[in-house]
Structure 1
Amino acid sequence: MKLLLVLFLGCLGSVAIADDQVTQTAQVTVEPYRYAQRLDIAHVVAVTPVPDVCDVVPMQLTYDDSKGDRHIMEYRIVGNGCSNN
């Protein structure tokens, strides 16, 4: 009986470790945008908000491509804090 309990707990522990490894490998890396890059955007998941500063700031676009893979692309824009007043 003790042997069955030890085997069950050992299997349960190995499943938890395997699940943790899958979660770590599923993390998405940030890809920098290259000029004239062709993008395969099927669904936009998120866009970072534009800050109210007068400077060039990094932005991130999270999207799914036509294969269902998730991507995070980083690009730069001028913030909303600039005005000609």
Structure 2
Amino acid sequence: MRYSSQVKPISYLKANAAEVLSRIAEQREPLIITQNGEAKAVLQDVASFEETQEALALLKILALGQQEVADGKVKPVADVVSRLRAKRDSA
């Protein structure tokens, strides 16, 4: 995706807010808002934002898991299964 076509000044957003929101929702592409020629914000539709947040959460979980493996905080799956079965059987 080329972001160069998705850059608009804040004055454009102010004058065309409804149109901008419709386009963002339809195209699902972010819009970069500039102020005094400098990028200041990114506007995106809610569905894309939620997808991004979910992806980041999954990546964080993976990173935490990798760190636990690196720190040796792991147990053989057979031990975990045995412990779970023992709990189930004692209940």
**Pairwise TM-score range, normalised by the shorter structure:** 0.3 to 0.5
Greater length-normalized contact order (CA 8 Å, ≥ 6 residues apart): 1
TM-score by length of 2: 0.30
Q: Relative to total residues, which structure has the larger helix share, 1 or 2? A: 2
**Which protein has the bigger strand share?**
1
TM-score, structure 1 normalization: 0.32
